[in-house]
Amino acid sequence: MPTRKAVVLGISTLVAAIMVATAVGSYAVWVTSGDYADRLVAVGDVMVASTLLLTAIAVAVGVAAYQVTVEAPELEPEITFRCSEPNRPVFLVEPEPRRRRHRLVRFRQVEASVRIHNRGSASARNPAMRIDLLGLGGVRPQLEWRPTDWSNHLGVHAVQWDGGANLAIHGNGTRVLPDLSFENVFALSDHDAEFALQVTLAAEGFRRVHTLAVDLRTRDAYSAYCRERAAQYEDGPPLPDTCGVEECDRQAAVRLLVLHPEHGPRELAACRDCADGHEDFQRLPSLRIVDNRDRRIA
């Protein structure tokens, strides 16, 4: 696609060429015509033809400018929780039978980075994103995410980010939104439909709804998911931490989630030898987790 500067230069050159052609044509018919009246008529015909050409160019420019002003952006969401793939959240949950719900286990899995991608060439002016939790609730108040829907049994179950009238996402660009936390979120045990995030993206001339399925897993199923991710990103860069086991100062290679029955979950970075052979990790249930921020996935 030609640049704006190239288009302006091309139109200016075309207009200049028409003006030169008009002057040359007028002179030619003036010197080759017979009497004075015929000369005036011939010059007038040349001027009319030139006017029609310039009018056609002006109409074409006006139509192109209108098309640019009404062209809509093409927005897509990207919500990446730290221990899940982009737009495919998977959470470890613990049942709370007395409250008829499952609680998301509190560790880095509940922290998400959020982006809006503009796949179109037109800028998205006054963008906004709304996230509705389907079958889940309990979102806590947080910076720049405004609660938009709540109820007594779910608490806050919809939040919205507004860019404002002075903000735009340029064509083929990306806007990074504030981080989003699901720290206190829970899922209803008697929810009879799919757990999901319903993401609504809006801007001037654009509105679209995306539904992202949420996969809730208990310990055994989540452990299998962790093993799959650990194998997928086995060759990733080393962690910036040192091994968290006492008397070991080697470079950490894996992150572990130790599920202590009394003290709750505990995160720990460890070298491979300690992760495979230390007695604490053999005695207590331990999951190998992959943090996207370690692997540059998000």
What is the per-residue pLDDT across 101-149, written as a single tens digit (0 to 9) for each? 999 999 999 999 999 999 999 999 999 999 999 999 999 989 899 999 9
Would you say 57 and 15 are in contact if contact means Cβ atoms under 8 Å apart?
Answer: yes
Per-residue confidence at 155, pLDDT binned at 50, 70, 90? very high
Would you say 197 and 134 are in contact if contact means Cβ atoms under 8 Å apart?
Answer: yes
Question: Does position 214 have pLDDT exceeding 80, yes or no?
Answer: yes
Chain mean position to CA 138 = 24
Question: Does position 196 have pLDDT exceeding 90, yes or no?
Answer: yes
E strand residue ranges, 123-243: 124-125, 128-134, 136-137, 146-151, 155-162, 168-169, 174-181, 186-188, 196-203, 206-213, 215-217
Q: How far apart are CA 147 and CA 143, in angstroms?
A: 11
Per-residue confidence at 72, pLDDT binned at 50, 70, 90? confident
- H or E element in which residue 91 lies: strand 90-96
pLDDT for the residue numbered 296? 66
Per-residue confidence at 212, pLDDT binned at 50, 70, 90? very high
81 or 69, higher pLDDT: 81
pLDDT for the residue numbered 131? 98
pLDDT for the residue numbered 105? 95
Mean pLDDT of the 196-222 span: 96
**Phi/psi-derived region of residue 171, left when phi > 0, alpha when psi is between -120 and 50, beta in every other case:** beta
Would you say 126 and 165 are in contact if contact means Cβ atoms under 8 Å apart?
Answer: yes
Pick the most confident of 70-74, 82-86, 187-191, 271-275.
Answer: 82-86
pLDDT for the residue numbered 215? 97
Would you say 154 and 101 are in contact if contact means Cβ atoms under 8 Å apart?
Answer: no
Question: Does position 90 have pLDDT exceeding 80, yes or no?
Answer: yes
Mean pLDDT of the 71-88 span: 94
Q: How far apart are CA 245 and CA 250, in angstroms?
A: 10
Amino acid at residue number 166: N
Per-residue confidence at 5, pLDDT binned at 50, 70, 90? confident
254 or 54, higher pLDDT: 254
Angle at 10 between CA 9 and CA 14, to 5 degrees: 115
- H or E element in which residue 232 lies: helix 219-232
pLDDT for the residue numbered 96? 87
Question: Does position 297 have pLDDT exceeding 70, yes or no?
Answer: no
Mean per-residue pLDDT over the chain, rounded: 87
Mean pLDDT of the 154-161 span: 95
Q: Which phi and psi angles does 235 have, rounded to 5°?
A: -95, 25
Q: Which phi and psi angles does 39 have, rounded to 5°?
A: -65, -45
Q: How far apart are CA 260 and CA 258, in angstroms?
A: 6
Q: How far apart are CA 89 and CA 79, in angstroms?
A: 8
Q: How far apart are CA 11 and CA 54, in angstroms?
A: 10
E strand residue ranges, 241-292: 254-260, 264-270, 286-289
Question: Does position 65 have pLDDT exceeding 70, yes or no?
Answer: no
5, burial (CB in 10 Å: exposed 0-12, middle 13-18, buried 19+): exposed
Percent of the chain with pLDDT over 90: 53
Helices 36-70, 4-32: axis angle to 10 degrees equals 170
Question: Does position 298 have pLDDT exceeding 60, yes or no?
Answer: no
Chain mean position to CA 195 = 21
Question: Does position 179 have pLDDT exceeding 90, yes or no?
Answer: yes
